[in-house]
Amino acid sequence: MPNYLMYRDDLETIAPDETETKQKIVELMTGGMELARQKYGRSVRISHAKAHALLKGELTVQAGLPRELAQGLFAQPGRYEVLVRMAQQPGELLDDSKLSTDRGMSVKVLGVNGSKLEGHTATTQDWVFDVGKQFLAGGMKEFLQAFKPNAEIAPKLSESVKGAVSATARATNTVLNAVGVNSEKLAFYGHPIVHPASEEYFSQTAFRYGNYVAKLGFFPVSPGLKALQDQPFDPQTPDALREAMNAFFKNNPAEFEMRVQLNTGLDEMSIEDAQAAWPETESQYRTVAKLVIPAQTAWDPAKDGYYEDLSFSPAHSLVAHRPLGGINRARLLAYTMLAARRLADNGKSVELPTSLAEVPA
């Protein structure tokens, strides 16, 4: 068995000017939210703004996990209700027929007991995942520079211009992927045109995993989801992703495996550099739970207001799964402040359900 890295409170490296950099990130994102508010007449999320599904499901923690995997939420076998929000990654309400963007998958596990991070009092554990195993920037300062065009320029561009960028980026990605180059972060608008339920989703950044450190992922495994990977997907309408999710989940359940990649050492698997790949030759993703989503209405426009008042945040976490690294330290501040700002702008209050019975049918 590999020699897995044990969690310690001193694993992270705090830069002397980190507080200032985090504040600049919040200010940049707040400015981007304001541009979007002027465009849409209401505030939307600065990332993962346009959802294409809000799904009810169940997370089942496997029995008999080895000691290194039986940690935190996964220490004991059990079943948890979950809410899953799937969305485009940008902070805009984009036309699906014109642009193909990265996608995200946010998971809220309900009825979770245990010590929570400061300020989080609900019995929930949130994870915010994206396609691609690495984050778009290594640290806070790199993210500040990388995100500026998306916050300051993208909301001002027409969708025709963005569509041209998207098509060019997808073509370039195709060329790079053909020669084995990792081009996951080549362009924000250049995501392959595939069904969103067919994709793998990753934490991208590191998290405490009880006594260890890990990255996490959701992998589609049920036959219906695997079949989507081989089917052509051609979005023809502005809300094509919502329509595709409704068409699939109307008659099909879905099953994802939740897998964990344990850290074997900071030399090979950096916590602070979120762009660094963690070699799977050193530590593979291993299954700890199954996410089962029954057939249902994936997106109901009549419930749009409720959906958008929900908050999914890395700050909604057990201490045992505390987000790690500079990008996550920035997220802990930014997600909390920006969610409060978005809801206040819209005259709403945060929705934090504690059971699926509280979620509109």
Contact (CB, 8 A) for 86 and 52: yes
How confident is the model at residue 181, as a pLDDT? 37
What residues contact 322, with CB distance under 8 A and at least 6 apart? Answer: 117, 207, 208
Q: Residue 189 has what pLDDT? A: 55
Q: What is the largest CA-CA distance in the chain?
A: 55
- Structural domain contains residue 5: no
pLDDT for position 184: 43
Local confidence pLDDT in tens for the 361 residues of the chain: 789 999 999 999 999 999 999 999 999 999 989 988 999 999 999 889 999 999 999 999 999 999 999 999 999 999 999 999 999 988 889 899 888 888 999 999 999 999 999 999 999 999 999 999 999 899 999 998 888 766 655 555 555 554 455 445 444 444 333 434 333 443 445 677 889 999 999 999 999 999 999 999 999 999 999 999 988 888 999 999 999 999 999 999 999 999 999 999 999 999 999 999 999 999 999 999 999 999 999 999 888 888 888 999 999 999 999 999 999 999 999 999 999 999 999 998 877 888 999 988 7
Residue 206 inside a domain? The answer is yes
User: Is there a domain that residue 3 lies in?
Assistant: no
Distance of CA 215 to the CA centre of its chain: 12
CA distances from 205 to 86, 295, 319, 358, 361 (A): 19, 31, 16, 31, 33
Tell me the residue range of the domain where 278 lies.
Answer: 18-358
Can you give the pLDDT at residue 283? Answer: 97
Q: Is residue 13 part of a domain?
A: no
Residue 198, domain CATH: 2.40.180.10
pLDDT at residue 174, as a whole number: 43
Instruction: Give dist(CA 9, CA 11) in Å, integer.
Output: 6
7 domain-assigned: no
Q: Which of 342, 310, 337, 253 minimizes the C-alpha distance to 122?
A: 310
147, part of any domain:
yes
Would you call 310 helix, strand, or coil by DSSP?
Answer: strand
Q: Give residue 176's pLDDT.
A: 35
Which residues, 6 or more positions from 324, have their beta carbon under 8 angstroms from its beta carbon?
A: 11, 12, 205, 206, 207, 208, 213, 271
- Say what the pLDDT of residue 147 is: 82
Placement of tokens 């060019």 in the chain: 168
Domain count, the chain: 1
Task: With respect to residue 51, please indicate whether it lies within any of the assigned structural domains.
Answer: yes
Question: What's residue 192's pLDDT?
Answer: 79
Q: Is residue 262 part of a domain?
A: yes
Dihedral angle sign, alpha carbons of residues 256, 124, 324, 6:
negative
Number of Cβ atoms within 10 Å of the Cβ of 103: 22
Phi, then psi, of 46 in degrees rounded to 5:
-75, -20
Helices (H), the chain: 18-40, 140-148, 159-178, 223-228, 240-249, 304-309, 326-345
Give pLDDT, residue 187.
Answer: 44
**pLDDT number for residue 185:** 40
